[in-house]
Amino acid sequence: MAIEGPLKELGIHDVFQLLDLSRKTGMLLVTSELRDNEGTVLFENGKIVSATIRSNPHRLGDLLIRSGRLAELDMMRAQALQQRGDRRRLGEILIALDLVTPKEIERQMRLQIEAVVFELMSWREGFFRFEEGLSEEQLQEAGVPLSTESLLMEGARRIDEWSRIADRVPNLSMVPYITPPDDEHPPLLDLLPTEWQVLALIDGANDLREISAALAMSEFDVARITYGMVSTGVIRLRHPERTSRAIQLPRDGAKSDPHITPVDSAAEPLWRGAAAFRRGDFAEGIAVWRQFVKSMPQYPGFASILDGISAATTLVQVLEREVPSGR
């Protein structure tokens, strides 16, 4: 029997907790139309054994290569064995070939699961469906069981810390650059190895999400390290050029900028959707803003726009149910 429903009625945190307490075995599919994304989490006796997300699948081989634990040629060698009929999982083949250690495989699989679960925990809208039971193929995908309760506790801690980090690191599309040197007060750098790794990729062009992918480091850890370096003045952040002016919305009655560039037109759907909401055309406003968040996921106010769409959608549903227009 399937368990399903909208996340606005049963939050993703509660869904995970329910499956943990009831010791469920099966597949949880979480979809978000606004994000045009979906995640899949496999449970075995209430523990999480696998997690993937369509927008960033966090494949084990890619993580090992990005972290420098595996050469690309060695990866191709292991994949060739699978193509020739070897039914072992990639990690098992890599261990048998003495290319990586079991401890490293376990570590990367944990990071893979954590990255997906923590991202899903930030979703406030969408739809979930849980199907009991796992196929033989799904069982082969399963890795080391992780405590769902521990992941939920860590996820809650990260959400709290994100609220503090957001004061200086508003989103992962921000581009870091090294603070210009001050000859009178030269900086004294006393950084941890992970901080040096992040600093080494800061070139004024890579955004934080790209740095996270290149290092195979969680987005949360990159944001936390960035927060520390911004706070100490080692680096600064700027909005990417493609959205540097798009986030400025004109107030009612304000004149448009005659020097507006083509890049600024990216925010036009926000104005058009807001105008539709103000005149009471919620269907058009929802449709326009949905298209905007799909095309501009890097917009700094992304979460607020999603909240607005969710609220407007709920209002429309309540009106149709309680006060239908035909009455």
| 11 and 107 belong to one structural domain | yes
In a shared domain, residues 159 and 176: no
Under 8 Å between Cβ of 269 and 292 = yes
Q: Can you give the residue range of the structural domain that contains 302? A: 262-322
pLDDT at residue number 243: 43
93 backbone dihedrals φ, ψ, rounded to 5°: -65, -45
Q: Which of 300, 183, 182, 207 is nearest to 248 (CA)?
A: 300
Residue 327 lies in a domain: no
37 within a domain of the structure (yes/no): yes
- Domain tally, the chain: 3
Q: Within a domain: residue 192?
A: yes
Residues 218 and 282 in one domain: no
248 within domain boundaries: no
- The last residue of one of the domains, among 108, 138, 163, is 163
Q: How confident is the model at residue 58 (pLDDT cuts 50, 70, 90)?
A: low
- Do 139 and 86 have their domain in common? yes
pLDDT score of 248 more than 60 = no
Mean pLDDT of 46-55: 88
Residue 254 lies in a domain: no
Q: What is the CATH number of the domain that holds 189?
A: 1.10.10
pLDDT of residue 262: 34
The DSSP bridge pattern shows strands 127-132 and 26-32 to be antiparallel
DSSP string, 169-219: ---TT-EEEEPPP-TTS-------HHHHHHHHT-SSS--HHHHHHHHT--H
155 and 18 belong to one structural domain? yes
pLDDT value at 55 more than 80 = no
Give the per-residue pLDDT at 174. Answer: 87
Q: What is the pLDDT of residue 123?
A: 82
Asked, for residue 247, whether it belongs to a domain, the answer is: no
> Residue 52, SS3?
strand
Is the predicted pLDDT of residue 134 greater than 60, yes or no? yes
CB within 8 A of 200, min separation 6: which ones? none
pLDDT at 297: 65
Mean pLDDT, the chain, whole residue set: 80
Residues 146 and 221 in one domain: no
104 lies in the same domain as 30: yes
In which band, very low, low, confident or very high, does the pLDDT at 1 lie, cut at 50, 70 and 90? Answer: low
Residues 148, 185 within the same domain: no
For 69-117, write each residue's pLDDT tens digit: 888 888 888 888 888 888 888 888 899 999 888 888 888 888 888 888 8
Q: For residue 273, is it within any domain?
A: yes
- At 64 the pLDDT is 82
Residues 32 and 57 in one domain: yes
Shared domain for 82 and 217, answered yes or no, is no
Residue 246: inside a domain, yes or no?
no
Instruction: Verify that 234 and 206 share a domain, yes or no.
Output: yes
Give the percent of the chain with pLDDT over 70. Answer: 85
Please compute the mean of the pLDDT values over residues 60-67 and round it to a whole number: 77
> Does pLDDT of 187 surpass 80?
no
Do 9 and 151 have their domain in common?
A: yes
Tell me the pLDDT band of 30, cut-offs 50, 70 and 90. very high
Instruction: Give the confidence band of 158 by pLDDT, cuts at 50, 70, 90.
Output: confident
Which phi and psi (to 5°) does residue 135 adopt? -75, 170
pLDDT digits (tens, 9 = 90+) for 109-125: 888 888 888 888 878 88
Lowest mean pLDDT among 141-155, 187-201, 251-265: 251-265
- Of 135, 163, 191, the domain-final residue: 163
Last residue of a domain, one of 163, 185, 207: 163
